[in-house]
């Protein structure tokens, strides 16, 4: 008896769907890309329960004929390529003709669509690849597609969906990748009846501001400089962050021909361009848009993968690095103070002091490949006083905004400077230029964070054994997360052993946490990693270090001895970035002599 037979389409589609539609975010991506391919100028996304119950995309694109509306859901049905040759000159986001077939295999889909030339539109309803309804309908030009109960017939996939919070984050990540390359299209994103993003049509810069900043103030994008390079091989445009505005958490986006991509090798090019300008654990934020002949790249790889191969990666690497370096060079040669920041910064000038230009020193021997000419010290030298030498802009410069200490300002302090503690919360230090106010708890967080991160990287956390082990009980999704973090938790000094499918026994804790109850700390870590969306090891390590530091730092209300205060200030000032906690809270503020004098 013959035993080989062809799978029915519905089964084949369901299997293939696993490839294309892995989670609500991949479904959203496919739908929105279709709208853009259809020339939409306005796209609305409506989501319920992070896409579990509803994912709806409404566009004003070209719409479909009655026949196409039905065909669109067939596997390998596409209007975008006709022959293999077309693959090499793709100008659309989609081309495989698999997305709708895959989506309708694992969800309940209802679509209405109409072309401008048709009087009536088409309504089609498909449940798990079965067409349950198709009829003419009245609807606006464009397409409105509603995907309900994703994975209703694939319980395993449904079960593997993460918490709503994580899935919503995935949806937004996918959404960002698209909206950042289509600034001329207006988008809205609604989740559970709440407008999460409202993005009017505009320029690339306006779109970036609308997504990450505040469109009214343009604060976010003013931290960037433009990159612009045109060569025969490739054109590169975009924005890179000014070194002084970099943080640990970076937005790093590459796009090629209107498509988001990950590219570790090109990331290296950017990092190289910044070398010597950022302290060790700071990352540059950037939005880089490549335009290149479609033949010179290969996007015909896995639909959910975001890596794209370039034919001539080394040449592009060089061009990119040079472009970024040029952009940064222009910036470092410019005066340090940003005079075009919306004009709303009031820089107080003492009346009869002549205004001098901010001094800028240029090191002609500067070579970013050698750390010798580093603008920021990568590592604090042993003698902390020497840190303050060689900075071109002294604090007494009359143009320096009074209380704003810029990232690269070092405040001259002496070992014998008077220090006080104020209300068991702040430390005041007398400096040459005024009174430095330090938040003791935050200062200690920054110090511990740097130490912990270092220990994590080298798996050198010191452990303190618990006399009485405690039990950490977790929910299923937390267990998955805990298993993922386990090696790093151990590296930092937790001694954890899995007791049962839903619990760990805690036998030891990091030395920094001595005498603290480990349960809330571990729960805090898990919660932070999840909430802040740490998806890579580097990111969750940061969250572990931050969370531990927050728990272990000297609290408000603790009085400190003079020696403790001095140590704290010294350790703080030795950090490459001492002004802010890793999550951006202000640690220090300077009350200048002029400000004090003005009060009398």
Binding site for ligand ADP (CB under 6 A): 30, 34-35, 37-38, 59, 61-64, 72, 77-80, 94-101, 143
**Closer to Mg ion at the Cβ: 26 or 34?**
34
Residues 5-34 that bind Mg ion (CB under 5 A): 34
Can residue 104 be called a binding residue for Mg ion (CB under 5 A)?
Answer: no
Phi-psi category of residue 381: left, alpha or beta, with phi > 0 → left and psi -120 to 50 → alpha: beta
Contact partner at residue 249 from Mg ion, ligand ADP, none, CB < 5 to 8 Å by partner kind: none
Residues 29-48 that bind Mg ion (CB under 5 A): 34
Which stretch, 99-107, 282-290, 369-377, 569-577, contacts Mg ion (CB under 5 A)? 99-107
- Whether 371 and 275 have beta carbons less than 8 Å apart is answered as yes
Contact partner at residue 64 from ligand ADP, Mg ion, none, CB < 5 to 8 Å by partner kind: ligand ADP
**Closer to Mg ion at the Cβ: 34 or 402?**
34
Q: How far is the CB of 73 from Mg ion (least distance, A)?
A: 12
CA–CA gap between residue 422 and residue 426 (Å, rounded): 5
Task: Look up residue 467 and give its two tokens.
Answer: 């006399």
Among 94, 493, 518, 576, binds Mg ion (CB under 5 A): 94
List b or e across 414-443, with b for residues whose CB sees 16 or more CB atoms inside 10 angstroms.
eeeeebebeeeebbebebebbbbbbbbbbb
DSSP state of 200: -
Helix (H, G, I), strand (E, B) or coil at 355: coil
Helix (H, G, I), strand (E, B) or coil at 546: helix
**Closer to ligand ADP at the Cβ: 64 or 489?**
64
List b or e across 206-220, with b for residues whose CB sees 16 or more CB atoms inside 10 angstroms.
bbbbbbebebeeeeb
Alpha helices, DSSP H only, in 64-132?
66-71, 99-105
DSSP state of 373: G
**Closer to ligand ADP at the Cβ: 143 or 402?**
143
Contact partner at residue 61 from Mg ion, ligand ADP, none, CB < 5 to 8 Å by partner kind: ligand ADP
**Closer to Mg ion at the Cβ: 34 or 551?**
34
CA–CA gap between residue 108 and residue 152 (Å, rounded): 8
**Closer to ligand ADP at the Cβ: 141 or 435?**
141
Q: How far is the CB of 16 from ligand ADP (least distance, A)?
A: 11
Contact partner at residue 60 from ligand ADP, Mg ion, none, CB < 5 to 8 Å by partner kind: none
CA–CA gap between residue 292 and residue 196 (Å, rounded): 33
CA–CA gap between residue 479 and residue 486 (Å, rounded): 10
Contact partner at residue 407 from ligand ADP, Mg ion, none, CB < 5 to 8 Å by partner kind: none
Contact partner at residue 35 from ligand ADP, Mg ion, none, CB < 5 to 8 Å by partner kind: ligand ADP
Task: Look up residue 500 and give its two tokens.
Answer: 């049962």
* Residue with nearest beta carbon to ligand ADP: 94
**Closer to ligand ADP at the Cβ: 42 or 532?**
42
Contact partner at residue 461 from ligand ADP, Mg ion, none, CB < 5 to 8 Å by partner kind: none
Contact partner at residue 38 from Mg ion, ligand ADP, none, CB < 5 to 8 Å by partner kind: ligand ADP
**Closer to Mg ion at the Cβ: 94 or 493?**
94
Which stretch, 87-95, 385-393, 468-476, 592-600, contacts Mg ion (CB under 5 A)? 87-95
Contact partner at residue 409 from ligand ADP, Mg ion, none, CB < 5 to 8 Å by partner kind: none
Neighbours of 76 (CB within 10 A): 8
Q: How far is the CB of 157 from ligand ADP (least distance, A)?
A: 19
Alpha helices, DSSP H only, in 414-467?
440-457
* Residue with nearest beta carbon to Mg ion: 94
Nearest to 398 by CA among 436, 356, 339, 335: 356
Q: How far is the CB of 113 from Mg ion (least distance, A)?
A: 14
Contact partner at residue 108 from ligand ADP, Mg ion, none, CB < 5 to 8 Å by partner kind: none
**Closer to ligand ADP at the Cβ: 79 or 484?**
79
Q: How far is the CB of 262 from ligand ADP (least distance, A)?
A: 21
Which residues neighbour 215 within 8 Å (Cβ) at sequence distance 6 or greater?
A: 206, 209
Nearest to 28 by CA among 8, 1, 58: 58
Q: How far is the CB of 37 from Mg ion (least distance, A)?
A: 6
Among 27, 55, 58, 99, binds Mg ion (CB under 5 A): 99
Which residues neighbour 511 within 8 Å (Cβ) at sequence distance 6 or greater?
A: 461, 462, 463, 464, 493
**Closer to Mg ion at the Cβ: 99 or 147?**
99
Contact partner at residue 78 from ligand ADP, Mg ion, none, CB < 5 to 8 Å by partner kind: ligand ADP
Can residue 145 be called a binding residue for Mg ion (CB under 5 A)?
Answer: no
**Closer to ligand ADP at the Cβ: 101 or 327?**
101
Alpha helices, DSSP H only, in 216-304?
264-273
Q: How far is the CB of 465 from Mg ion (least distance, A)?
A: 57
**Closer to ligand ADP at the Cβ: 62 or 456?**
62
CA–CA gap between residue 235 and residue 231 (Å, rounded): 6
Alpha helices, DSSP H only, in 142-295?
155-160, 164-179, 204-212, 264-273
CA–CA gap between residue 485 and residue 481 (Å, rounded): 6
CA–CA gap between residue 121 and residue 140 (Å, rounded): 8
Q: How far is the CB of 489 from Mg ion (least distance, A)?
A: 41
Residues that bind Mg ion (CB under 5 A): 34, 94, 99
């Amino acid at each position: 008896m013959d035993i080989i037979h062809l799978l029915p389409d519905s089964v084949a589609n369901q299997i293939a769907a696993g490839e294309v539609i892995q989670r609500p975010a991949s479904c959203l991506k496919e739908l929105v890309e279709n709208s853009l391919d259809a020339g939409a100028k306005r796209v609305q996304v409506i989501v319920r329960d992070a896409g579990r119950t509803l994912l709806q995309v409404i566009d004003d694109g070209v719409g479909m004929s009655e026949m196409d509306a039905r065909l669109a859901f067939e596997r390998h049905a596409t209007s975008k390529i006709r022959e293999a040759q077309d693959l090499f000159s793709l100008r659309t986001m989609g081309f495989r003709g698999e997305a709708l077939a895959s989506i309708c295999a694992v969800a309940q889909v209802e679509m209405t669509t109409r072309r401008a030339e048709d009087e009536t539109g088409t309504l089609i309803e498909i449940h798990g690849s079965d067409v349950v309804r198709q009829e003419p309908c009245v609807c606006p030009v464009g397409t409105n597609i509603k995907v309900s109960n994703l994975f209703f017939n694939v319980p395993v996939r449904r079960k593997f969906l993460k918490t709503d919070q994580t899935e919503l984050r995935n949806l937004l990540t996918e959404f960002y990748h698209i909206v950042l390359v289509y600034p001329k299209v207006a988008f809205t994103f609604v989740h559970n009846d709440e407008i999460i993003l409202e993005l009017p049509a505009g320029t690339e810069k306006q779109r970036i501001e609308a997504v990450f900043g505040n469109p009214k103030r343009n604060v976010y994008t003013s931290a960037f400089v433009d990159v612009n390079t045109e060569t025969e091989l490739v054109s590169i445009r975009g924005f890179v962050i000014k070194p002084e505005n970099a943080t640990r958490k970076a937005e790093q986006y590459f796009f090629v021909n209107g498509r988001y991509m990950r590219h570790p090798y090109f990331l290296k090019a950017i990092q190289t361009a910044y070398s010597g300008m950022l302290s060790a654990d700071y990352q540059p934020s950037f939005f880089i848009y490549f335009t290149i002949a479609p033949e010179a790249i290969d996007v015909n790889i896995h639909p959910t993968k975001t890596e794209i191969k370039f034919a001539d990666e080394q040449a592009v690497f060089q061009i990119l690095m040079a472009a970024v370096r040029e952009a940064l060079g222009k910036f470092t040669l410019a005066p340090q103070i940003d005079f075009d920041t919306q004009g709303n910064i009031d820089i107080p000038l003492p009346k009869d002091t002549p205004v001098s230009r901010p001094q800028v020193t240029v090191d002609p021997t500067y070579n970013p490949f050698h750390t010798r000419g580093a603008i920021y010290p990568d590592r604090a030298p042993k003698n902390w006083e020497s840190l303050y030498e060689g900075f071109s802009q002294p604090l007494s410069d009359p143009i320096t905004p009074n209380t704003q200490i810029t990232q690269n300002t070092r405040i001259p302090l002496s070992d014998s400077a008077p220090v006080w503690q104020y209300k068991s919360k702040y430390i005041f230090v007398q400096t040459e230029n005024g009174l430095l106010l330090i938040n003791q708890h935050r200062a200690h967080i920054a110090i511990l964070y740097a130490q912990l991160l270092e220990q994590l990287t080298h798996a050198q956390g010191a452990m303190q054994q618990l006399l009485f082990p405690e039990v950490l009980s977790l929910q299923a999704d937390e267990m998955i997360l805990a298993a993922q973090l386990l090696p790093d938790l151990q590296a930092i000094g937790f001694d954890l052993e899995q007791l049962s499918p839903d619990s760990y026994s805690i036998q030891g804790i990091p030395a920094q946490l001595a005498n603290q109850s480990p349960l809330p700390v571990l729960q805090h870590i898990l919660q932070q990693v999840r909430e802040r969306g740490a998806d890579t090891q580097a990111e969750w390590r940061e969250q572990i270090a931050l969370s531990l530091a927050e728990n272990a730092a000297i609290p408000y209300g603790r009085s400190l001895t003079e020696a403790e205060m001095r140590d704290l200030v010294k350790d703080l000032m030795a950090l490459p970035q001492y002004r802010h906690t890793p999550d951006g809270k202000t640690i220090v503020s300077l009350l200048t002599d002029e400000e004090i004098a003005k009060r009398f």
